Structure 1
Amino acid sequence: MDLGLSGKTCLVMGAGGGLGGAISQTLAREGAYVAVADIALEAAKQTADAIIASSGKSLALQWDLADLSIIPDRIAEVVEALGPIDVLVNNTGGPPPTPASGQEPELWEKHFKAMVLSVIAITDQVLPNMRSRGWGRIITSTSSGVVAPIPNLGISNALRLSLVGWSKTLAREVGPDGITANIVLPGRIATSRITFLDEQKAKRENRPISDVMRESTSSIPLQRYGEPQEYADVVAFLASTRSSYVSGSVIRVDGGMIQSI
């Protein structure tokens, strides 16, 4: 299936990690030009170098999402090197595990800025060019916690859920301009983030991590964690010309883990 991404410019945030890296490389294999952004420049370079080694076109960017002031300059770098942005993949890191109660306002403010305001501000920067060309894709990666809140991830559950309301509202606003906006939420995908959360749970409960993982996978109908590539394939479809009538949606990539309809 031709996804119609050849020659389109994609900006992927958090692209030095498992999900962002897989998304970037999958888009590049479809012929897209991919700007790879991450807080760790070396991680971004590793993803970009892998794309270039496979004859793709890529640009690595150091990008701290908590610093809103750098957004115009970073967007300008992408446009100069690869062209106007057609596809934006909003993918942010997660906050530390915490209860919902008892957290300092400064902690909420810090992660709201990096996880929510940054996504909104970056999207606002790329929308004018998308509107002028009559085509664009805004894809925002969140968490299964926006549907079924995850214990001890109070900050993540609350802040990521705000992006669902924002994306749904945005989809209606930009639809007449040929732009779609969708949320993709991962279940338990085998990344360093999931390993970290499993380790933290094992430590809190004084249990072997193997027990935690066994318990976790037993709650998933497919009886395993997902692979980053499986998540990336869904994102690539939503980025494509083939997904032209999918907008305002929340797409689960969770192996059937979330029990609600």
Structure 2
Amino acid sequence: MDLQVNERTALVMGGGGGLGSAIAITLAQEGANVVVADIDLEAAQKTLEVIERAGGKGMALAWDLGDLAQVEDNIAVIEARFGGVDILVNNTGGPPPTPVSGQAAALWQKHFQSMVLSVIAITDRVLPGMRDRQWGRIITSTSSGVVAPIPNLGLSNALRLSLVGWSKTLAREVARDGITSNIILPGRIATERIRFLDRKKAEREGRSVEEVSRESTESIPLGRYGEPQEYADTVAFLASGPASYITGSVIRVDGGLIASI
């Protein structure tokens, strides 16, 4: 299938590793010009090296999502190099595992800015160009916790859920402009973030990481953790021309983990 993203410009936040890196590489393989943005510039450059070795085009940008002042300058750099952003992949890091109660207001504010306000600000900045071109894809990666809250991930459950309401509302506002807005959420995908959460759970419960991982795997109907490439392939389709009639949706890539309909 031709995804019709050749020479489109994609901005992938958090593209230096894990799901973001897989998404950036996959979009580049489909012919998009990919801007790999990450707080860790060296990590972003490593993803870019993979893209360029395969003949793709892109650039790496240092981007701290906690600093909203960076939005204008970084988008201006992208526009000078590739023109406007056609595909925006909002992929933010996760907060530390904590209960939802008893957390300091400063902690909530810090992660609300980096996980929610940054996504809104970046999207608002690229929307006018998408409207002018009558084409755009906004894909926001969240967590299975927005459907079934995950114990001890209180900050993530609450903050990421706000993006679901935002994305659904946005989808109706921009649909007539040829722009789609969708949420994609991972189940347990084999990334460093999942390995970190497994280690933390093992420490809290006084168990081995292997035991925690095995128990988690057994809860997944497919009987395994997902691969980053499987997630990236789904994002690439949502970013495509053929996905033009999918908007306002929440797409699960979870191996059947979430029990609810």
Deviation >4 Å, runs of 4+: none
**Structure 1 partner of 2:79:** 79
Pair 1:158 & 2:158 matched:
yes
Pair 1:13 & 2:13 matched:
yes
TM-score (norm 1): 1.00
**Structure 2 partner of 1:214:** 214
Q: CA deviation at 1:83?
A: 1.9
**Structure 2 partner of 1:28:** 28
Aligned-residue Cα RMSD (Å) equals 0.4
Which deviations, in whole Å up to 9, do the C-alpha atoms of 1:14-65 show, x marking residues without a partner?
Answer: 0001100000000000000000000000000000111011111010000000
Q: CA deviation at 1:227?
A: 0.2
Structure 2, unpaired ranges of 5+: none
**Structure 2 partner of 1:176:** 176
> 3-state SS of the aligned residue for 2:139?
strand
TM-score (norm 2): 1.00
Alignment of 1:236-251 (within 5 A): 236-251=236-251
Q: CA deviation at 1:253?
A: 0.1
Q: Partner amino acid for 2:58?
A: S
**Structure 2 partner of 1:117:** 117
Q: Partners of 1:255 and 1:13 in 2: how far apart?
A: 24
Pair 1:224 & 2:224 matched:
yes
Q: Partners of 2:82 and 2:137 in 1: how far apart?
A: 17
Equivalent pairs counted in the alignment come to 261
Q: Partners of 2:147 and 2:17 in 1: how far apart?
A: 23
Q: Partners of 1:2 and 1:176 in 2: how far apart?
A: 24
Q: Partners of 1:214 and 1:83 in 2: how far apart?
A: 47
Which deviations, in whole Å up to 9, do the C-alpha atoms of 1:169-218 show, x marking residues without a partner?
Answer: 00000001000000000000000000000000000001010000000000
- Percent sequence identity over aligned pairs: 70
**Structure 1 partner of 2:50:** 50
Pair 1:66 & 2:27 matched:
no
Which deviations, in whole Å up to 9, do the C-alpha atoms of 1:99-157 show, x marking residues without a partner?
Answer: 00000000000000000000000000000000001000000000000000000000000
Q: Partners of 1:91 and 1:231 in 2: how far apart?
A: 12
> 3-state SS of the aligned residue for 2:195?
helix
> 3-state SS of the aligned residue for 1:36?
strand
Q: Partners of 1:132 and 1:7 in 2: how far apart?
A: 17
Q: Partner amino acid for 2:31?
A: G
